[in-house]
Structure formats: C-alpha cells, structure tokens
A = this chain, B = another copy of it.
C-alpha cells in the first residue's frame, strides 16, 4: 500500500495526492461497513470469525492510508484545503474504522454469541453512513456537485440520530430484561462501540461541510 502510493506520489500533482488518499480511505471504510453487516448477519460462528479477520485486515489497510495522509501533510506546504481539515478528516475516518473493528473484536474476544436485532440494525446504519461518506469524499475532488455533498452529509447526520435512538432503546431494553449483569455488560460494550462509529462518521461529515463552505 505505502510503496504503491509512494510511486503514485511522483506522478500526481502535489496537492492531488490528498484526494487520492482520501478516496482510498473512504472506499476502504465502505468495504468495512459491508463486511460488518455480513459479520453480524451470519449465525455460523466460523463464517463470522472469517469476516472479523477480514475487518482486522481492512483496518490495517486503513491505518496505512491514514499514516500516509499525515506524512504527505508533513511534507507538503500546498494542500487542497486547510491543513487542520485534512488532519481532522483523516483522523475521523480512521476512528470510524477503529470502532467498527473494535466492535467485532469485542464480539470475538468476549465470546458474544447472541447478536441482537439492535446490533444488526446499528451495523446496517454504519454501513449506510460509510456509503454516504464515500459519496461525499469522492465529490471533494472537483466540488462541482455541492448539493450531492451536502445531501450526503445531511443523511450522515440523520443516521447518527437514528443510531443514538437505537442505542438508547437497546440499552434500555437490556436494563429492563437482561438479568445476567455480565451478559448485559458485554452486550452494552458491543452496542456502545458500534454507536461510536456513527458518531465519528458524523465528525467526518462535519469536517466536509466546513470544507465546502470555505472553498465552494
């Protein structure tokens, strides 16, 4: 990954490298969204563990891309938008990846066997949110279709609100019906990690919105 991008960086105009890297990061994240949905929707534990392993690999790929964005940021004085916005956007995308991976890692390590409908619903919302984020990021390159960016960001915000609601309902349900405190803690940890992934998608959308207000 890194070495391939190093080759690219000789041919791509200096400030264009950021669009390329952000697109790679957003596509990778979108792939994680899909894999997450697959992981929580299979009831075969071996299949699930294969998907969880895939998510770990994707998360490492994401780490490499983030690292390269920071490196390019250190090397380039000219950037297509504010340095701090590049930093925030890369960090937010990286955080989404961390929380997606963190949620399935908890399922694996804590031997969570029961995957509730709430968990599946949150995974679905995260997947949608990563798709919208990819759309918004891809439009940053030429900024010709601002409406498309804004609409995607509005939907990411709306998805985050829905996720809050699903999370609150899920935890309220646990407190009402789960009598085994240790199982409750496990389930709550998984839900909370998933919910944070949508928070970070919203952070990314907020950065994108502030970028287009400034540059459009």
Residue ranges of A at the interface with B (Cβ–Cβ < 8 Å): 70-71, 73-75, 84, 105, 109-111, 168-169, 171-172, 175-176, 178-179, 181-182, 184-186, 188, 206, 210, 213-214
Contact = CB atoms under 8 A, between A and B. Distances in A.
B184 A182 contact: yes
B172 A110 contact: yes
Contacts of A105: 168
User: Most B CB atoms within 10 A — which of A175, A178, A181, A184?
Assistant: A175
Contacts of A182: 175, 178-179, 181, 184
Contact of A111 (B75, B109, B172): B172
Nearest to A178: B182
Contacts of A214: 74
A169 B111 CA distance: 12
Given A70-B210, A182-B181, A185-B185, A110 B175 contact: yes
A210 B75 CA distance: 10
Contacts of A179: 182
Given A168-B105, A185-B184, A71 B213 contact: yes
User: Most B CB atoms within 10 A — which of A75, A182, A186?
Assistant: A182
A175 B181 CA distance: 11
Contact of A181 (B168, B172, B185, B210): B185
A150 B143 CA distance: 38
Nearest to A188: B185
Contacts of A176: 111
A75 B213 CA distance: 7
